[in-house]
Each structure stands twice: as C-alpha cells, then as structure tokens.
A and B are shown apart, each in its own frame.
Chain A
Amino acid sequence: MSDQSLPADRRPWILLSPALVFITLLVVIPMAFILVYSFYENIDLAVDVPAFQFGNWEELLTDSYYHTAIWKTLRLSFIVTVLAAVLGYIPAYVIAMTRYRHKWLLLLLLILPFWISFIIRTLSWIHIFGNQGALNGLMNLLGLGDLPIQIMYTEFTVIVGFIHVFLPYMILNIYVSLEGIDTNLEPAARTLGATPWQAFREVTLPLSLPGLAAGSLLVFVLTGGSYVTPLILGGPSDFLFGNLVYDAVVTELNWPMGATLSFTLLFILGSVVVIYSRFMGMNQLAKAFG
C-alpha cells in the first residue's frame, strides 16, 4: 500500500466510478424523485399531473388508516426483533463456544437458509399451520378437539414467517461478535471469583452487544420494509406499511400517493438506521460478511 498512496492517484477513482455512477443514477436520484412525486396530483387511475400541492401529505397526516399502519409496522417489527434476539442469542453462543469438531457444519447450516428461496421458506409454514398442515394432521391423529383449528392467516403466522426468514441474520451477527471475544476473558473472570452466570453477564454479554445491535437493526429494518410475507401468511387485517405502498402503486395505480407513502417508509426506517449508527457506527454491519 506504499508506492501507490500518492494523493493525486486517479486509478482508484477510475475503478470506483462505474459503481458510483450506477448507485447515484439508480438509488440517489430515484429517492429525490420520490420526494418530488409526492407533491404531484393524482387525477385518475395511473394519471397524474406535475404540481406542488400538499394533498397527499395532508391525507397521510390526517387519515388514521395510515397512522394505524405505521403503528402496526413498528409494533410487529419490534416483536419480531425481540423474539429473534431471544431465539437467536443462545444458538450463537453455543456455536461460538463449542469445542465440537464439526462446528463448521453448524455454521454451514446457518448460512444454508440464505440459499433457499424466500418464498418457499415462507409458504412452507402453510404446510405446518394450514388446515391441511402438519399440526392439524397431528391433532387429528391424536383425536384432539374440533378440527381443523384455524391458525393460518393470522398475525401469529406472519410473525413466525418473519422470524423464520430473518433469524439467520440475527444469529450470524451475534456469532461474529462472540467469536471476536478473547477466549481468556471468561476464565479470567472466573478465577477472580465470578460465578459462571456473573462472568457471562458482566464480560461476555456486554462484549457481544454490538453484534446483537447489528442483528436487531437488520431484522427490524427488513421486517418494517416488507409486504410479501403478510400477503402470503397473513389475513386481511395483517398488513404492514409496505402493503399500503404496494396497494397504492400496483393496485390503485396512484403514483403520487405511492411516492408519499414510500418516502414516509424511507423516513421512518431511515431514522432507525441513523439512530443506530449514532451509537454503534456502521462497521459492525459489514463484519458478518467476512
């Protein structure tokens, strides 16, 4: 890295320029367009005129339908994040601490879900909770109750579906931060008289918090931006804010409202990211890919 560190070296910029142009053109400029379009006026299906009026924003701010959707989205994302953290911490800890010879297998199994189709993983829950699903089949075999019981297409199945898909992100992030901890620290705490629980709580847990935070951020933001999972696993009332965007753009062809809602979603989830990066910085997020 020594001879090419001249400040005026243009080579890195030549190498970077395609990617930078690509992102600017396809992400940064479109984001600006969303904002501009949110002031446009919708006249009819798929017909809108350039304007500068606050009708869409007024609707968003006054109609309680949208407020409910925001509340639902934040609430559901929070539930999914907390449950994923609770479910994911212990496996991450076990994988990081185990002396099992085939630890690589546990890690491989953790990465495997990323290679399996999201929609297959999501619809697989219909086979578990559906009327013809494993659960109802099992209860039928055991001769229990009035069948089939209706579990499918509820908020519960939406939550299960989200956790199932996003749990590997959580475990992987916690694992990475646990793996980075000096293995002598916990024994050191023990020699100094700490109980195993104390050693964990006062040494390991605080040191793993960056990973837990990174995993939580990912799960929260990914859940909050979704709309497909509720469509597959939820009932009519289990919609997220993303579903409103989908309805506005795909179903109602109301582009200005779709833009307004998109910008709102970007703002809400963006605030979460900004708050996170204030406290944690952005480096931890990249670590899980190493």
Chain B
Amino acid sequence: MRVWSLLKFYTVLVYTFMFAPIMVVLVLAFNSSQFGGFPIEGFSLRWFYALAENDAIIRALRTSVMLGLLTALIATTLGILASVALVRYQFRGKQWITTFLISPVLVPETVLAVGLLIFMRWLHMPRSFALLLIGHSIIALPFVVLVVQARLIGIRKDYEEAARSLGASPLQTFFQITLPLLLPAVFAGALFAFTISFDNITATIFWRPAGMETVPTQIFGMLRNSVSPEINALGFVMICITVGVPLLAGGLARYFSRKKI
C-alpha cells in the first residue's frame, strides 16, 4: 500500500503541473500592478475594465466567436451526415472511408495550412474570412466525426423501426424520433468544433487576411515583449467561457436526464 500512496502522490504532482500555471494566470488577472507578472501588489479589477475598452481585443473576440459558430455549423453538419452513414449502414470500403475521414488529423497543421494557402493562391483567391472558415471546418471535421460516431453507436435503431411500423412516415420518424435522439451528439460535436476553431492559432496565422485578428492571434501579437496584465484578464475571461459553457451544458444535461427518470 505504500507504493500505492507514492503513485497517488506522483499523480497529484502531475495534476499540479498541469494546473498550477493556469491558476497563476487566473490569479494575476486581478493583480493591480501595471506589470503582468509577480509580485502581486493588490486586488483590482482595472485590467478587466481596460480589456472592455480595448477595441482591438473586442474586435478579435467578435471575429473568433463568429468564426467558431460558423465552423461548428459546417463541421457538425458534414460530420453528422458522415457519421450516420458510417454507423447506420453497411457498405464496402467502410474501413477505408473512416480512415480517410480521420486523415486530416494526421497531416501536421502547418502543412495543412500551407497546402490550402498555395491552392488558394493558384486559384487567385486572396486570404479571407471564408478561407479561415473552410480551413477551421476541415480541421474540426475529423474530431466531430470521432465524437459523433462514438455517441451514435449508443443509439438503438429499434425506436425508428418501431415508429415506422406504427405508421410514421420516414420524415416524421426523422424529426420526431431520430433527431431528438441525435441532439446530444449534435451538441457534443458542435461544442467540440467551436472549441477547436476558437483555440486555433497554428493554421490561423497562415490563413488570416492582413488586419484580421482572432483572439489567439491577437494575444500572440501582444506577446512580443512581455505578458501584459490585459492578457491575464483576457485569459481569465476565455477560461471562464470555454470551461464554463461545456461544464454548464454537461451539468444541465445530467440534471434534466435525471429528472426524467
């Protein structure tokens, strides 16, 4: 049992390694000092006010949210259709198709970014928001397929067959049976796609048109000399959004599913 305690202690250390630096950002966001680092001089919300008045950051935030939502729409639509095909139908070459759908994950993002950019250049299309959108969608698509597929396998087909045998039309069956059962998978996929887009920097730096910033590239641009206190405050806000929303969604889903039973 002594060994087991040591292993547990080691695990605690690794978790500390994973979370301590993030905690530091969260704490420093409230530091009143005009520098981004230590020492902590006092509690203050001034950097949050400064953040709210920073037009560049607000603009970047707006771009990122828009991009994330549209990416989620595209990637989830394509991903759900493909996943339904993979889970619900038997056909030849399925294994091959699955690998093909996942394959963009295995292409280094840098290469993916340069490839698409060169292709656009050949087509004489300049960098644009649309390029960012289709690019982010292609990065998110394999993850959406993986997540949605995993959820779909759990949904039994009997319900649809029962509805059909009770006289529902295929369309009725889809909207009244299949779609409600699919919804959790749709949400999981969309959330994942949004997060991937919202967080992306590697490919975004290549694809964004001059003058357009997303939140990560904006932070990257501000970072050249040192970490400004505004970045800490921004980090705090971003972590609250990206961690808070899924946790809330998951919590609510659990709450409601428990209530039904």
Contact = CB atoms under 8 A, between A and B. Distances in A.
A290 B106 CA distance: 18
A147 interface: no
Contacts of B60: none
A168 B14 CA distance: 10
A261 B179 CA distance: 46
A30 B114 CA distance: 8
Interface residues of A, number: 89
Interface in B208-241: 215-216, 219-220, 223, 226-227, 231, 235, 238-239
Given A137-B39, A227-B202, A228-B201, A115 B243 contact: yes
Interface stretch (B42-50, B65-73, B142-150): B142-150
A125 B37 CA distance: 11
Interface string A254-290: 0100110011011001100100000000100110011
B102 to A, nearest CB: 7
Interface string A85-101: 00110110111001000
B181 to A, nearest CB: 17
B205 A250 contact: yes
Contacts of A11: 85, 89
B81 interface: yes
A249 B205 CA distance: 11
A266 B91 contact: no
Contacts of B18: 109, 113, 164, 167-168
Size band of the interface chain B makes with A: 35 or more
Nearest to B245: A115
B82 A19 contact: yes
B163 interface: no
Interface in B134-156: 134-135, 137-138, 141, 143, 145-147, 150
A19 B81 contact: yes
A102 to B, nearest CB: 13
A109 B81 CA distance: 31
A127 B28 contact: yes
Contacts of A60: none
A24 B200 CA distance: 22
B195 A266 contact: no
Contacts of A142: none
B21 A128 contact: yes
A164 B17 contact: yes
B182 interface: no
Nearest to A35: B115
Contact of B19 (A13, A33, A109): A109
A16 interface: yes
B195 A130 contact: no
Interface stretch (A183-191, A205-213, A218-226): A218-226
Contact of B104 (A23, A196, A250): A23
Contact of B101 (A23, A88, A94, A114): A23
A26 interface: yes
A190 B37 CA distance: 52
A34 B242 contact: no
Interface in A212-252: 221, 224-228, 231-232, 242, 245-246, 249-250
Contacts of A30: 112, 115-116, 118-119
7 contacts: A4-B88, A12-B91, A27-B112, A31-B107, A90-B7, A132-B35, A249-B117
Given A116-B22, A164-B21, 7 more contacts: A19-B78, A93-B7, A115-B195, A119-B220, A127-B25, A164-B18, A221-B106
Q: Which 3 A-B pairs have the closest CB atoms?
A: A132-B37, A225-B108, A30-B115
Interface of A: 1, 4-5, 7, 9, 11-13, 15-16, 18-20, 22-23, 26-27, 29-31, 33-34, 37, 87-88, 90-91, 93-95, 98, 106, 109, 112-121, 123-128, 130-134, 136-137, 164, 167-168, 171, 196, 221, 224-228, 231-232, 242, 245-246, 249-250, 255, 258-259, 262-263, 265-266, 269-270, 273, 282, 285-286, 289-290
